[in-house]
Every structure is written in structure tokens, then in C-alpha cells.
A and B are shown apart, each in its own frame.
Chain A
Amino acid sequence: MLYLVLEIDGECYGLNALSVTEVTPLVELEQIHEGPEFLAGLLNYRGRPVPVLDLRRMIKKKPCEKRYCTRIVIVEYPRTTKTLTLGLMAQKVVRSVRVTQEFSPMELRNAPYLGGAVVERGRILHCLTLEKILSPQQALEVFG
């Protein structure tokens, strides 16, 4: 399976390529002042407003820096009956990797989005579970 590698402060998080719509470059986002902290803002994605999550903010409690390699990954977030388009902003998205082994299962209370880990070329690759990337409360904050 092909995984898109999202690097945050040297840690690698893999996202299944099939769940990715597109990878876009970093652009200016419309700020939402009343929104939650992990929401980086609203992206004008080909004429459609898409909420963008700041993964670094969510994981490392620090906002993403504005760099060339900082990209927004457009995904379809499954929500009960329908899917919602969501942007995930990561510090460094420059490569994809093909993983052949099974992910060792992992279940963390504080980090439900980590769905396991695997060692790829000497580095630990965490598997991001897209459905659990937002806690129900966070999902409520974003999508209502």
C-alpha cells in the first residue's frame, strides 16, 4: 500500500494514498477567529471553502511554519452518512512510501488517530487513521 508521508518535527505520519484527493501547496487561508485553535483556516479549494486542520498544532501544539514543503492534503473525511472535504496541513509533505509489512496495532487513548506503526528505511512511520483524526468533540467544533 502507498502511504503519503507527513513529517512533523522529524516524526513521520503515513496517510493511505487512496484516501487522499490531492496534495496542494501551502496557500493563504481565511482565518476563522472564533474557531478552534487546531483549525488553521478556510481554504479556497477551486471555488469551494474547505476547513484545514493544522496537524502540527494538533500533535505538537505549535502552528505550522510557512515553508515550501508545507502542504495541505485534501481528504474526504467520513462523517456518519456522507463524507466531508477536509484539508490537513502538515509541516513537510515531500514523499510517499510503499509499505509492504503489516502495521503493528496500536490503541492510544490520548492519540486515537494513530492506527499503528511500522519501521520503514530505519524510521518509524505512524499510520494515521483518517476517521479518528478528529475526536467527536473536535468534529463537532468543526462541522457542527
Chain B
Amino acid sequence: MRVASSNWERKQKESQGYAIKNFLVDRSMSILVLGTLLTVFLLTTATREMTDQIVRDGALRQAQALVQTFQSMAFSSKPSSLQIQNMVSKVEQDLKGEGQGVRLITMPANPFERRDAQGSGPLDDFQRKALRQLNEGKVPSFCGLSEYKGEVSFRYAVLLSGPEESPGVDLLLEVVQPLGSVRADIKRQIYSGAGILLGLGGLGLWFLGAVFGRLKNLRDHRAASESILQEQVQQLLSFVSRAADGDLTSDVPFQGEDSVGMLASGLSVMINQLGELVWQSQLLSRQVVSSLSEFASSALRQESIVLEQSHRSSTLAKAAVTILDSSLSVESTMESMTVVAEHTATIAASGQAGLETMEWTMTQVTQSVERIQQRLTELNDRAGNIGGVVTTITRVADQTNLLSLNASIEAEKAGDYGLGFGVVAEEISRLADQTAVASLDIEEMVNEMQNAVAAGVESMKQLAEDVGMGVLHVQTAADQLTLIMYEVQQMVPKFEEVATEIRSQSLLADDMNETIQDLEGVARSSVDAIRESNHAINELKCLAMLMQGEVERFKVHQ
């Protein structure tokens, strides 16, 4: 427009340049309108995403406030049904102040109760998940983003234990805050701002269009009475040229009653009015730029907040993953411990069996030792009996000796007749002596044998004692092994219990991880949205500043 107005006087002699000028003047309007519309559309889209984020943020804050109320409710010891009613109504009261669309849903946790209760249909996914988690008692509360009655809502649920008089009638309390209501508020505000901006832009453009329209008429008129009005037109042209250059402060060079003078005075009025309008536009555009700057800075803050939140949730996610890993490793350790414990029990059982065999064997040994002792004692008795035999042999030897003496005496008395008999008597005497020696030898042998047997009996007694001690030791060991086996067998189910618990905990961590990842995704998309909105705002700001620059070019009376 500036180019067109500055070159207008110079190029009016050239018919070709004149045509181009006309074209530009005709099209500039529509280009302006289109640009403004595009800007407004971009602004609207960016604003919409930004509002969503703000809404979620706000909903989260509200929910966090509610969490504490519910937690205090849920963990107070077994409230009565009246207390529950009071609490519920109080929460409902509180929620009314929180915003449009925020509501409290109470639902019996028991499926039979639920079937009887009015207006409660089947549970949706969120409620089922919440009920499962809460029923297991692993988490105090459950929250997430989910659709409720066709609206994306932030939902927060706790399980309220039933009244003391009827245990098992637990209530699932749920706060639903639809994101749409908040979004509408903010959207409305932004849209109104944008409308004002659009109106102002339109008004400015309309004035420019009017000016250009007048200028066109003037040009047509001049073509008819070129020669007469040359001077005046020239003057007016310079005046208009100044105005076109943006100087709306100069006065009309002349005034008159003729058409040119009328034109001049009209032009003067128009320029003045235009100046006023431009001044107003300047004011407005300054306001728009400043408000957009604020907007941009607040969007930046928002981005940093969301980034921080995203960072936190990623930290949380890491922690959850760590918990998951550690609980998995604990679980596997528990399982291996169970296996080891069972193995230990098996080994102990086999050890016990071995000990029983050993005990049996030792008992056998003890019995054998007793039998041997008995035999040895018998042997000793027999050996003692041999002593009696020795006495008999000694007596026989003695009697034989006596016989030989008498025989030799008789032989001597028989004289020569008894000589042979004397020899026999001598032989008998020798026999008697040999018998006596034999009895001596036997006696000594018996003594040796008795000594050996006595030693044997003694060592057998020692052995019996040792074996007895061994049996005692083995019995003690067997008892201890039995105890170990009992303890280990007791341990196995405990391990399994712990493993089960850990498994459920890991499931929980898994869920938590999932939720956190959802949250992280939301945060990430929020960051993206904010960035986009930032970008849009910056663009808008640039446009506004451009517009301001253009508007500022006009010199106007302050």
C-alpha cells in the first residue's frame, strides 16, 4: 500500500504502470482479509490445544486436593453409614464450587449390591480397573484420564470401606471432571479477544478501502477536467501524497466553495478522521502486541512447567521400572530359594534315611557284640571247666605214679622173676610223669586262653560302649535332621507366599508404569501442543507487530 501510494504520482504518466497500480489497489483488500482470517484460524487452533492443557493441569490440581479429602475419608477407621452419607454430601458440596461438570459417582463395590442399586449400569474400563486395584488393597487411590459419557475426563477413584454394621458393603467413590467444560470457558475468552481484533482489523480495512475508493473516483473526475483543476489537484495530490506517506497531520492547502475546494475540505475531514481511526488502531495494535507478549511469556512458563512435569513423570517411570525389575529379581530369587529349600529338604530326607540305616546297622553291631561277649563268657566258663579236667589228669598221673612205685616194689620182691615187670613199672612211672607234664601244659594253655578271652571280653565291652555311644550320636543326628527337614518344609510355603506377594507387587508396578507412561505421553503431547501454540503466538505476535509497524507509520494528531 505504501509502495502504491509513494509511486502513485510518478507513475501516473505511464499507462502500463498505471494499470498495475490499479490491479494492486483492487486486490490488496482481499489479500488483507484472507491474511487476517488465516491468522485468526491459526490462533484459534493453537488456543484450543493450549486450553486443553491448561484444563488438564487445573483438573489435576483439583483432583490432588480431592485425593487428600478422600484419603482422610478412606483411611479413617470404619465409618458408619451416616458418616459416609455426610462425607459424600460434603464432597458433593465441595465439588459444586470446583467447576461446571464436576460430579461425584458412588457405586457399591459388591457386584450384587450394584445390581440392586438404581441407575448404576455396568462398569466401564476405568471403574473395573480401579475396583480391581483397590479391592486388592495395594493402592489407596486410583486415578487416570478416561472417557465418561462421551467426554474426556479426569477421573479419580477411592474405595470407601462399608459401615461397621454391614461389612462388605464397600463404596467406590469416583470424582469425574470433564475436560470440555473448562476448555469452553477459556476458549470463549480467547475467541472474544480474537473477535475484537478481527473487528478492528476489518474496520481499518474498510476505511482504507473507502479512501482508495475516493481516490479512484477523484482520478476518474480528474480525467474529465484535467486542465482546470491541474493546479488544485496537484496541491491536493501532494496533500494526499503526504497522507499516503502516512502523514495525516498536514492541513489542506486550500479551501473553497468549488468542487475542488469541497474536495479539499472533505479530504481534510477525512484525513483527520482517518488519523483518529489510525490512532485508535495504533492503540489497539499496541494492546494486542503487549497482550500477545504476555501470552507468549505465559505459554513459555507453561511449557517449562509441563516439561518439568514430564521430567518428573519420566523419573517416576524409571523408578517404577526399577521397582518392577527389583521385584522380578526378588521373585526369581524367591523361586530359586524355594527350589533350594526343597532340594535341602530332599537331601535332609536322604541323609535321614542313611542315618536310619546306620542306626540299624549299629544296633546289629551292638547285638553281634553282645552275642560275641556271651560266646566269650561261655568260652571262659569252658576254659574254667578245663581246669577241672586238669585236676582229674593230675589225679590220674598221681595215681599212676603210686601204681608204678608199688609195681616196682612188687617186682623187686619177685626177684629175678620180677625184672621184666620192673621195667614195665619204670615205663609206667615215665608215663605218669608225661601225663603230669601234659596237665601242666594244658593248665598253662588254659590260663593263656583265659587271659586272651578276658582281654577279648574287655575289648568287646569297650566296643559295645563305643557302639552305644555311636548309636546315641546317630540318633541325635537323625533327630536334628528331622528338625531341619521340618523347618525347611515350613519355609517353602512362606517363600511361595512371599513370591506371590512380590508377583502381585510387580503387577502393580507394571500398572503404575503403564499409568505413568500414559501420563508421560500426555505430558509430551502437552509440551508439543504448548510449543506449537508458542510458535503460533510468536507468529501472531510477528503479524501483530507488522501490523503495528504499518499502523504506526501513520502520523496522526495525538
Contacts and interface: CB of A to CB of B under 8 A. Distances in A.
Is there any pair of Cβ atoms, one from A and one from B, under 8 angstroms apart in the complex? yes
Interface of A: 2, 4, 17-18, 20, 22-25, 68-69, 71, 93-96
In this complex, the member of B394, B406, B408, B409 whose beta carbon has the largest number of chain A beta carbons within 10 angstroms is: B409
B539 interface: no
B405 A94 contact: yes
Nearest to A69: B398
Nearest to A21: B409
A2 B404 CA distance: 13
20 contacts: A2-B412, A4-B405, A17-B412, A17-B413, A18-B412, A20-B409, A22-B406, A23-B402, A23-B405, A23-B406, A23-B409, A25-B402, A68-B398, A69-B398, A71-B402, A94-B401, A94-B405, A95-B405, A96-B408, A96-B409
Contacts of B406: 22-23
B373 interface: no
Nearest to A96: B408
B460 to A, nearest CB: 38
A102 to B, nearest CB: 18
Nearest to A16: B412
A2 B402 CA distance: 16
Contacts of B394: 68
Contacts of B405: 4, 23, 71, 93-96
In this complex, the member of A20, A24, A96 whose beta carbon has the largest number of chain B beta carbons within 10 angstroms is: A96
Interface residues of B, number: 14
Given A23-B405, A68-B398, A71-B405, 5 more contacts: A17-B409, A23-B402, A23-B406, A94-B405, A96-B409
Given A68-B394, A68-B398, A4 B409 contact: yes
A95 B409 contact: no
Nearest to B399: A25
A128 to B, nearest CB: 15
B429 interface: yes
Contacts of A68: 394-395, 398
A95 B399 CA distance: 13
Interface in B393-428: 394-395, 398-399, 401-402, 405-406, 408-409, 412-413, 422
Q: For chain A, what secondary structure do more than half of its interface residues adopt (helix, strand, loop), or is it mixed?
A: strand
Contacts of B402: 23-25, 71
A93 B398 CA distance: 11
A95 B429 contact: yes
Interface in B247-287: none
B408 A2 contact: yes
Contacts of B429: 95
Q: Which 8 A-B pairs have the closest CB atoms?
A: A17-B412, A2-B412, A68-B398, A17-B409, A23-B405, A96-B408, A20-B409, A94-B401
A2 B413 CA distance: 10
A20 B412 CA distance: 10
A17 B408 contact: yes
A67 to B, nearest CB: 10
Interface in B129-165: none
A55 to B, nearest CB: 16
A14 to B, nearest CB: 13
A94 B408 CA distance: 12
Interface in B179-200: none
Contacts of A4: 405, 409
Contacts of B408: 2, 17, 96
A95 B429 CA distance: 8
Nearest to A23: B405
A69 B395 CA distance: 10
A69 B405 CA distance: 12
Nearest to B398: A68
Contacts of B422: 2
A69 B413 CA distance: 23
Contacts of A95: 405, 429
A34 to B, nearest CB: 32
Contacts of A24: 402
A71 B401 CA distance: 11
A72 to B, nearest CB: 11
In this complex, the member of A4, A17, A25, A69 whose beta carbon has the largest number of chain B beta carbons within 10 angstroms is: A17
Nearest to A22: B406
B150 to A, nearest CB: 137
Interface in B338-389: none
B423 to A, nearest CB: 11
In this complex, the member of B399, B401, B405, B429 whose beta carbon has the largest number of chain A beta carbons within 10 angstroms is: B405
A21 to B, nearest CB: 9
A139 to B, nearest CB: 25
A22 B413 CA distance: 11
Nearest to A3: B412
A15 B342 CA distance: 101
A20 B409 CA distance: 7
Contacts of A25: 398-399, 402
Contacts of A20: 409
In this complex, the member of B406, B422, B429 whose beta carbon has the largest number of chain A beta carbons within 10 angstroms is: B406
Nearest to B432: A94
A42 to B, nearest CB: 21
A137 to B, nearest CB: 30
Contacts of B398: 25, 68-69
Nearest to B426: A96
A94 to B, nearest CB: 6
A20 B398 CA distance: 19
A144 B362 CA distance: 83
A130 B528 CA distance: 159
Contacts of A23: 402, 405-406, 409
A65 B402 CA distance: 18
A83 to B, nearest CB: 16
Contacts of A71: 402, 405
Given A23-B406, A68-B394, A95-B429, A18 B401 contact: no
B392 to A, nearest CB: 12
Contacts of A96: 405, 408-409
A11 B398 CA distance: 21
Contacts of B395: 68
A96 B398 CA distance: 15
B397 to A, nearest CB: 9
B409 A2 contact: yes
